[in-house]
Amino acid sequence: MEPLISAQTLAELLDEPELIIVDCRFRLQNPNWGRQQYYQNHIPRADYLDLNQDLSAPPNALQGRHPLPPMTQFAQTLCQLGVRQNQTLVVVYDQAQPAFAARLWWLFRYWGHNLVRVLDGGWVAWQAQGYPTTSTIPERKENGQFIPQAQPNWTLECSELKRQIQNQSLTLVDCRDAVRYRGEVEPIDPIAGHIPGAINHPWREACTPEGFLRTPQEIQSQWADIDLAHPTAVYCGSGVTACVNLLALAHAQLPQPQLYPGGWSAWCNHLI
């Protein structure tokens, strides 16, 4: 299934009963910003999910700043939204670049709901094209039906990652900005640098300056240096923005690498 949806197509679907829209705008430096923006204005029918509260478990040293949410918690969240497993189309959106929408897209699929798409260009594209907005909060929906089942081999734990690094049996991709990968700047985590052996594919390169995902041909060209048929894993700071590269690869119909959810925030804590 194509992982993206255009603003025009979403606008045409707004009256469809089996449609759930989720706003997940967020800023790491100002965690309340996204929810405040949602209350001021959002796409009609949209609910809001928060990176820290809904898309992650509490941070801890072993699993990083944004561990995956517990299975039962995430399933309850989806049921409260009214999601019916693999019957309801879910559209998620971000401000522009899909840094947080991609995480939610990946989580839906990881727990077994494949009918999920990311609004290409996000809120900025929706507004720029003149589609309706509202500050009205949707009425509570009838509970959905969702039985989560984690997809096998989609994630890597730290111990397995270490083993594969030692055996040189894995291509590891760091999706953070190049200056963080090189250890020149580290604004969040206690140590600068990258996991040994990792190569760098910054997630922002998958997006245009306006926040749209690049074309499949551009993404295929960007990743031509990696044999994705070989075992491959991606990571970022805490398992969030690496999902943008996973989204881009799905858009380009390329194989999906594994995700190391703990990312650099978990790895560097093992070094302290």
pLDDT of the residue at 200 = 98
Is residue 158 annotated as part of the catalytic site, yes or no? no
pLDDT of the residue at 51 = 98
Are 50 and 26 in contact by the 8 Å Cβ rule? The answer is yes
Give the DSSP letter string of 175-233: -S-HHHHTTS--SSSSS-S--TT-EE--GGGGB-TTSPBPPHHHHHHHTTTS-TTS-EE
Query: Which one of 79, 207, 236, 243 is the catalytic residue?
Result: 236
Are 211 and 7 in contact by the 8 Å Cβ rule? The answer is no
Residues 195-250 pLDDT 10s: 999 999 999 999 999 999 999 999 999 999 999 999 999 999 999 999 999 999 99
Ordered domains of the chain (ranges, CATH): 4-128 (3.40.250.10), 158-270 (3.40.250.10)
* Distance in angstroms (rounded) separating the CA atoms of residues 125 and 112: 29
251 pLDDT higher than 90:
yes
* Distance in angstroms (rounded) separating the CA atoms of residues 136 and 79: 21
pLDDT of the residue at 272 = 55
pLDDT of the residue at 99 = 97
Residues 66-86 pLDDT 10s: 999 999 999 999 999 999 998
Nearest 5°: the CA angle 125, 177, 160 is 110
Q: What is the pTM of this model?
A: 0.97
pLDDT of the residue at 122 = 99
**According to DSSP H, which parts of the chain are helical?**
7-13, 33-40, 71-81, 101-110, 122-128, 158-167, 178-181, 216-222, 242-251, 263-267
The fraction of the chain above a pLDDT of 70, given in percent, is 100
Question: Pairing between strand 171-174 and 199-200?
Answer: parallel
pLDDT, average across residues 18-36: 97
pLDDT, average across residues 250-267: 98
Residues 163-207 pLDDT 10s: 999 999 999 999 999 999 999 999 999 999 999 999 999 999 999
Residue 232: strand pairing partners:
171
110 by DSSP, 3-state: which? helix
pLDDT, average across residues 43-58: 98
pLDDT of the residue at 269 = 85
Residues 100-154 pLDDT 10s: 999 999 999 999 999 999 999 999 999 999 999 999 999 877 889 989 999 999 9
94 pLDDT higher than 80:
yes
Are 39 and 26 in contact by the 8 Å Cβ rule? The answer is no
pLDDT, average across residues 56-69: 95
Amino acid letter, residue 22: V
pLDDT of the residue at 8 = 99
